[in-house]
Amino acid sequence: MSKPKILVTRRWPDAVEAELSQRYDAHFNRDDHPMTVAELQAAMRDYDAVLPTVTDSVNAEVIGVANPRCKILGNFGVGYNHIDIAAAKAAGITVTNTPDVLTDCTADIAMLLMLEIARRGGEGERHLRSGQWTGWRPTHMLGSKVTGKTLGLIGFGRIAQAMAHKAHHGFDMDIIFYNRSQPPRDKIDYVKARQCASIEDVLREADFVALHCPGSQENTHLINAERLALMKPTAYLINTARGNVVDSEALIAALKAGTIMGAGLDVYEGEPNLHPGFLELENAVLLPHLGSATSDTRIAMGQRVLENLDAFFAGQTPRDKVC
Ligand code: DGY
């Protein structure tokens, strides 16, 4: 029997590309360009499996091609808002993702953003590198203390729980959160968290608000001007989830007016073309979607895609089946 024909839409770490090639008739996007809709449509017609990433818009137009050969979309990433799940379901195409393996690294980036914006790390480095530093002064570049403050989580899934663990056990922070469903009691108790009845309650009370909800249609602009206005003027917003969860215009306005103190962002609406207003702000730390960007994690993500693929082609239910 011939090996299933697989397309990897972006370059993966060499080690997992090699593993994939041993087991499958694997094809790679050697110049690593973001795929166009036409290329993705062709891929749906020509391959048994397509392994997309967040940079591929696997929409209804792509999934709905006539006579698709593709039977499984093995997403390289945990978030799958770039894939039209309803269309995949309707077309009988299996979708898998890569949870767990990127949880800690993404929570680390959320911590990094929180510390860097509160302690003015980016601003300080720019200050020093541009030759403006004249030496230590008691009133120079004063930031906000992180230890002992209140961290408010919007969403209480794996990454939020990992951030809560680091923040509570490492930085003695009080944890409050909002989650649509009831998380397991032991996860809440482990970080002595308090569950709030609404997003608004979290926004009013937290010193740091960290977003950990999916970038679904219904969460688009969940954090808008009205909700930003509820935050304390001393509070910070941290986003490692998806850019569409925050209304960029509203956030830029709040940061400019100083109605909140700052923001730490790893994801953007329309990335990589983020709103140019962000670039002018000293009170924003901006990272280029680095949440899961460590060598170990990216290898583990590739292996998790492979594990799901192997199960699928062996006629089993993949461990991370989304639909
Ligand atoms: C994820 O895994 O969701 C990362 O943001 C990359 O897609």
On whether the CB atoms of residues 105 and 312 are closer than 8 A, the answer is no
Q: Is 49 helix (H, G, I), strand (E, B) or coil?
A: strand
Q: Which of 19, 61, 249, 271 is catalytic?
A: 271
Distance between CA atoms of residues 264 and 51, nearest Å: 30
On whether the CB atoms of residues 76 and 95 are closer than 8 A, the answer is no
Measured in angstroms, how far is the CA atom of residue 29 from the centroid of ligand 1? 19
Q: Is the CB of 305 under 6 A from ligand 1?
A: no
pLDDT for 282-309, tens place per residue? 999 999 999 999 999 999 999 999 999 9
Q: DSSP secondary-structure letter at 259? A: S
Q: Is the CB of 264 under 6 A from ligand 1?
A: no
Q: Is 263 helix (H, G, I), strand (E, B) or coil?
A: strand
Measured in angstroms, how far is the CA atom of residue 159 from the centroid of ligand 1? 12
Distance between CA atoms of residues 6 and 50, nearest Å: 6
pLDDT of residue 1: 75
This complex has an ipTM of: 0.95
Measured in angstroms, how far is the CA atom of residue 133 from the centroid of ligand 1? 37
Written as tens digits, the pLDDT of the chain (323 aa) is 799 999 999 999 999 999 999 999 999 999 999 999 999 999 999 999 999 999 999 999 999 999 999 999 999 999 999 999 999 999 999 999 999 999 999 999 999 999 999 999 999 999 999 999 999 999 999 999 999 999 999 999 999 999 999 999 999 999 999 999 999 999 999 999 999 999 999 999 999 999 999 999 999 999 999 999 999 999 999 999 999 999 999 999 999 999 999 999 999 999 999 999 999 999 999 999 999 999 999 999 999 999 999 999 999 999 999 99
Residues 6 or more apart in contact with residue 164 via CB below 8 angstroms: 151, 153, 156, 175, 177, 191, 193
What stretch of H or E contains 27?
strand 25-28
pLDDT of residue 238: 99
Which residue has tokens 């024909």?
A: 5
Q: DSSP secondary-structure letter at 33? A: P
Report which of 100, 102, 99, 65 is spatially closest to residue 80, judged by C-alpha positions.
99
Q: Is the CB of 68 under 6 A from ligand 1?
A: no
Verify whether residue 169 is a known catalytic residue.
Answer: no
Give the nearest ligand 1 atom to 97 CA. Answer: 2
Which residue has tokens 């329309």?
A: 270
On whether the CB atoms of residues 240 and 214 are closer than 8 A, the answer is no
The per-residue b/e assignment along 40-73, b for 16 or more CB within 10 angstroms, e otherwise, is bbebbeebbbbbbbbbbbbeeebbebeebebbbb
Token digits of residue 156: 């209480």
Q: Is 184 helix (H, G, I), strand (E, B) or coil?
A: coil
For ligand 1, atom 1, which residue shows the shortest CA distance? 77
Verify whether residue 10 is a known catalytic residue.
Answer: no
Verify whether residue 298 is a known catalytic residue.
Answer: no
pLDDT of residue 271: 96
Distance between CA atoms of residues 192 and 169, nearest Å: 10
For ligand 1, atom 3, which residue shows the shortest CA distance? 79
pLDDT of residue 286: 98
Report which of 243, 82, 200, 175 is spatially closest to residue 183, judged by C-alpha positions.
175
Q: Is the CB of 77 under 6 A from ligand 1?
A: yes
